[in-house]
Structure 1
């Protein structure tokens, strides 16, 4: 991720020296993430939302389903689309149009990672009839930026999708092959969720010299020589407990994104090793997020009635 606010040469030397010694300015080792906080159901009048704080990087993902009418729903693949906005006060980097450039890069990476029919096969439910479907839009707002927004956005998107609640209406046939929606009689008992097992996790690998490290801060991003984004779908079996089982998991996962934003930096002979690091990091990050999702499911829910009202409003034509 390009940055437009320079740190001093002395700060760069200090950061690079720490990376070369395997110890970062904030005390982390090269493969460590900063503390991650994930909250759910944080936005009213949405069908799913989550807030993620990765160190000082802070963003919100919100999902809204909108019923659309088309000529024939069989003519297109119904996929999730992503829109990212960088708050003007999130970082000095976002002055002028630079925030838009950053937002477009993050949205593009998310779209590429999700552009696969293997991801969220349950989206076929959102083709409600021959002429109507649910458009699925994920809006991500970056509130504060301190590096590694791509990984944070990936976490927030998956967390928000896990929080998504929806109802499949009954479609009533009308003239000329058109249909109109009707909520089931006991709508509150018909709320559904998506299986997010196949939702990818994106991890960003950064390099300086021969060193590879994760979760770069804003200052570290200005020192990196190479950046590689790896999108991974781990297998559903998440109960591995040791290093051997994790390596076996890494060999059988699916890669949905492989984007080198600084070409010719990662040496070909080391690429397999670098990719393996990214896959294992994505698997571990996914495991931690799934644990947090399961924890949230045991918490009292607060906005179920609001979501029903939101669906009722969306079904009015």
Structure 2
């Protein structure tokens, strides 16, 4: 018999406006302690220097993490032109420099090659695995390595400001797996002037917006042990925002929660579509729609 996790059985989403200087794992652990929650996880790592939306799931909401991880995300970031670093941000060592500074029109023209279906090589200092080992561990050891390019969908990449000849402010909307640092690196190379990320902020992730929904870590820890803390949570159903919803009759609740197919009521669904079933406003299960039945793949304990 497995050891029971310590802490409260509390479920929901918390949209943390992550401060700079902390790893995503550190933020998750501090949130879990503040809530005394028995389970927590996040939907999409942010670099330690980055700020903005870090969506943290507690309890049963962790079962919906993949849907937020796969969702579209938007970033605001500043690229410093004239230098490339080995980490593609300000934390690393400068490896290439240039005195060239392209004008705004040249930059705007170059952005088009990074929009749509693109192939992106993740930074050497990243969490991608090479032969089972994280790339950043090999990079720290000074190991030379080849990281395979990965497909990425970039919905939009626009120039929003030019504070100085050295600095370019951009906004990007992209799908899962995008590395802003790689965009800065590759844009600098395309412009012939090199570049790296100086500042990075995740503006939104799926249904979660930093300005509207974000809560600071200080506010979370200040409210620890009070009813106000639980009021900061958003329902786990928010993690299913992008899936169609079916209605679950009362007689189907038990069967679905036991992992068995059961009748649900849905409209506009095709055979095999993924959807989720709701009863009295609460998520019961996620699964595949098959001829009026939901075949569950994830069930939620009520």
Report the TM-score range of the alignment, normalised by the length of the smaller protein. Answer: under 0.3
With the length of structure 1 as denominator, give the TM-score of the two structures. 0.23
With the length of structure 2 as denominator, give the TM-score of the two structures. 0.24
Q: Which protein is richer in helix relative to its size?
A: 1
Q: Which protein is richer in strand relative to its size?
A: 2
